Chains A and B, each alone.
Chain A
Amino acid sequence: MTETRTLHLQRAMASLVLDADEAALEADPGRAARRHGLSGADQRAFREQGEAMLTYRELARMSLIEPLEEMFPVLKALLESEERWDPCVQAFLDARLIRSGHYRDIAPTFLGWLATTGWGQERWPFLLELAHAEILEVLVARFPEADPPEGLHAEPGPGDLVVLAPATQIVSYSHAVHSVTEDAPVPEVRPTHLIAFRNGDGEARLMELTPATAALLVQAQSRPLGDAATALTIPDLAPVLDLLNDLRRDGAIAGFQTPT
């Protein structure tokens, strides 16, 4: 890529929007242009239009931060209680990870950043689980449309594999993060298993599972149902098959497959 003045000006604008040092930028908006090696005339343009340049900072940051505030209200409440929300958001912006042009991807990108960096998780070991639980239904609700898998049948048998619908997620948390609120954002330590799926109308649904059912749904995707039930010491397969039938009718399971 040729290094041009236009590119340097765009990089200076990105710095002005994303960089942490707000007080320094307010005192001298020209510093963003200076950092990128721009001429005195360009630095002067940044300085002389200081109020308007800082309006861009405010507008762009609002665009980037709003989806986080909307998607993670409990996490925000938790971190704000110790004045850590703004530092968390700034650390995320500093990582420069928002690549997608789809606005809906900002919140999942933030979740990925929390998972990769472990930010705040020494202080709050449940933080990643909390963030994941907050966005789980949205991830499922907006999972890209996909053609249903082919070659499936509707009635499960002991020799079948379970094939989940493309949007379905089975998750296991160490904390009851699905029952926290903004007023009580700290979850109790309790293993929690959930299935999130889209029903026939395309709306997200969330259901708590027993540990055995969650394990069965995971294992029976790669080994026959009967074998998975035996391994999990589930004595009677009949109620399991009833549940699987219900989950298929509800849209969580795409169908059942005879292993090849």
Chain B
Amino acid sequence: MTQDRFTGVGLGLRRPHLEQVACMDHHGVPFWETCPENVVGDGGRQHRLACAILDRDPVLTHGLTISVGGFDAWDEDYLRDLGDFLIRTGTPWHSEHLCFTSVDANCLHELLPLPFTREAVRHTIKRARDLQSRLPVPLLLENITYYAELGAAEMDEADFITAVLEGAEVGWLLDVNNVYVNALNFGFDPKEWLARMPLDRVVQLHIAGHKKFGGLTVDTHGAEVIDPVIDLMQWTLARLGRPVPVLLERDNHIPDFDILLAERLRLQRAYDAALAAVEVRHD
């Protein structure tokens, strides 16, 4: 599923950087990730700049509020616009979160955890398959950070994710920071957790920063990526043995673009080193 032009470490396209990025012919970012909800149906200067960049550079798309595990009917108008947008950007796939975001037509604008139950697995598989049938490109699902299990669980998170990915026959957007944060909050070894997972389904990685609030670590996307998470990314790439694209997420406390470029470069070097080690192992 991975296409050759999508390798290396990309960045999320964010409004504070649009003016600067639009003027740069050689920014060195191999691809951008954009949230269609923030572009579709928008207008004005920032929108025009975003579209100019998305029309110029390689793009992956990542949805926020479609509520794959929810019960609300799809917004057919939005799905039509989304499909047009995915085709326009040329994205090879579209990712959504394995969660619910709306209930009884009320959008909560938060990635909320699905119950780890057999019923929720069946429901989410059905919804993901239905959503896939309405999209012009393959659907990926991303593992989220969760802070509590919703209701009494019948299985653990790893089994839940595996059952949904395999039942829906979709690819996996593996967020290594989410695995790390969940490991901190629930007290497990992230590498042992990953070793149990269907890594053959991984198409893309996410990486980000997080922060501790009281007894809980929260996936803030508002800080630099720490070394143990970079190590987990490298471990995962080595285990995969192939160059899937990695996306650095930064949505809060967004630094100047130059600082973000420097962080991207640091991650790119780690990425290259991990893949070089894979090649040496195979030689």
Complex contact A142–B119 (CB within 8 A): no
A residues near B47, Cβ cutoff 8 Å? 142, 145, 202
How far in angstroms is the closest Cβ of chain B from A203?
Answer: 5
A14 to B109: give the CA distance in the assembly, Å. Answer: 11
Complex contact A9–B115 (CB within 8 A): yes
B residues near A204, Cβ cutoff 8 Å? 44
A residues near B101, Cβ cutoff 8 Å? 101
Contacting residue for B44 out of A38, A52, A60, A142, CB 8 A? A142
Contacting residue for B109 out of A1, A6, A39, A64, CB 8 A? A64
Asked if A13 CB lies within 8 Å of chain B CBs, one says yes
Complex contact A142–B71 (CB within 8 A): no
B residues near A49, Cβ cutoff 8 Å? 148-149
A202 touching B151 in the complex, CB below 8 Å, given contacts A60-B109, A101-B78: no
Asked if B218 CB lies within 8 Å of chain A CBs, one says yes
Q: Which residue among B47, B109, B120 has the maximum number of chain A CB atoms within 10 Å of its CB? A: B109
Chain A residues with a Cβ closer than 8 Å to the other chain, count: 54
Chain B 96-122 interface residues, beta-carbon cutoff 8 Å to A:
100-110, 112, 114-115, 117, 119-120
Asked if A17 CB lies within 8 Å of chain B CBs, one says yes
Q: Which residue among B44, B46, B185, B214 has the maximum number of chain A CB atoms within 10 Å of its CB? A: B44
Complex contact B42–A101 (CB within 8 A): no
Asked if B234 CB lies within 8 Å of chain A CBs, one says no
Asked if A96 CB lies within 8 Å of chain B CBs, one says yes
Asked if A259 CB lies within 8 Å of chain B CBs, one says no
B residues near A17, Cβ cutoff 8 Å? 108, 110
A residues near B148, Cβ cutoff 8 Å? 45, 49, 52-53, 55-56
Please encode chain B, from 134 to 151, with 1 for each CB lying within 8 Å of some chain A CB and 0 for all others: 000000000000011111
Complex contact A60–B107 (CB within 8 A): no
Complex contact A103–B70 (CB within 8 A): no
B residues near A38, Cβ cutoff 8 Å? 151
Q: Which residues of A contact B (CB under 8 A)?
A: 1, 4-7, 9-14, 17-18, 33, 38-39, 41-42, 44-46, 49, 51-53, 55-56, 59-60, 63-64, 96-104, 106, 140-146, 167, 198, 201-204
